[in-house]
Amino acid sequence: MAVAVLSASALAQKPDTAAVKAQVIAADRDLASSTARNGPDVFLRALEPGAAVLFPGQPILRGADASRSAFIARYGGESSYSWTPAHAVVSTDGKLACTMGYSRFANALDSVKSPHSGSYLTCWTKDKKGKWRIAGTQRSDSPPKGSPYADSAVLPGAPHSAVASTGKNQLARAQDADSLFAMMGALPAGPGPAFAKYAADDGMLVGGDQFPRGPETIAAAFKDYSPDRVIWWRPSRDFGAGTGGLAFTVGNSTSGPRPGKTGPTIPNKYFTVWRQEPDGRWLYIFDLGSTRPAQ
């Protein structure tokens, strides 16, 4: 009887996943609306002090103080930036949520003022007052080809929220998985097998005009990747969050020639959302990159 009472109590305290998803999508939508009316400082005020801030042409930045000047230079003034959330995933404890959606960006510095369509990922945590604040965000708002869903709020085949959560130090476990993923990606077989192995069944590569989904489709997206080239990456242990079977990692990546080969070296950075599976593995459900300066 005591076990039954305890089980009922635990179930009663479990967050309502649908309600949490609705809350964070509403917070994201409200932030987009307020930023459109009042400018990029509104977005910066929504950041946690240690938030990872990723957007094209910059290194990984920390919080509003470090990112303010570059952020306003890109998104302030005559530039315009808007976004629409399409999907959210949440942790089993309701303390972490990540949104994915589509953006429109018109850069005042461009000679042709046509807007770019892109994608974004933002992960949120609740503060002590119950307000959702940004723990990390990636904007990939000017890809060569934008998403076909850019004018909608739909993400076909979207990944599901976390349903399992075991073990402590969940951010570290996700970062460990990311490190092993990177090691496999640098092997002679190329990145395809690694991206397939560490993808959840409903995992997606977002950005550009295609969103490969699931291990087989993701592997196929790399079938023409040159064996003379390699992608190196490493998660930064200074950023990220993880709880309730959900986590996000960020880091720098570089696409370049393998030793002894020639070709361009392209510096990027990435933002990856991870979910713990019922068997304990950490697999990614979203991955999105953007450019950064050469170091």
Tell me: the pLDDT tens digits for 109-143?
Answer: 887 777 888 999 999 999 888 999 999 999 999 88
Residue 102 has pLDDT above 50, yes or no: yes
**Tell me: domain 170-291, CATH 3.10.450.50, correct?**
yes
Give, in degrees to the nearest 5, the angle at Cα 269 between 97 and 35: 50
Q: Do domains 15-140 and 170-291 have the same CATH topology?
A: yes
What pLDDT does residue 28 have?
Answer: 98
Distance CA 87, CA 100 (A): 5
pLDDT beyond 60 at 14: yes
Where residue 252 falls (left for φ over 0; alpha for ψ -120 to 50; beta otherwise) is beta
Mean pLDDT is lowest, of 108-112, 191-195, 244-248, 286-290, for: 108-112
Question: Quick check: 9 pLDDT over 70?
Answer: no
Average pLDDT over residues 249-256: 97
Q: What is the pLDDT of residue 2?
A: 42
- 135: DSSP letter: E
Interatomic CA distance for residues 224 and 233, integer angstroms: 20
Q: Give the pLDDT mean for 56-78.
A: 96
Of the given ranges (3-7, 61-65, 73-77, 107-111), which has the lowest mean pLDDT? 3-7
Neighbours of 214 (CB within 10 A): 17
pLDDT at position 120 is 96
Class of domain 15-140: alpha beta
For residues 37 and 31, what is the distance between their CA atoms, to the nearest angstrom?
10
Structural Rg of the chain based on CA atoms: 19
Pull the structure tokens for residue 96: 């972490």
Domains of the chain, by residue range, sit at 15-140, 170-291
Q: Is the pLDDT of residue 8 over 50?
A: no
pLDDT, residue 26, reads: 97
Model confidence at 263: pLDDT above 70: yes
Q: What is the percentage of the chain residues whose pLDDT exceeds 70?
A: 95
- Whether the pLDDT of residue 12 is over 50: the answer is no
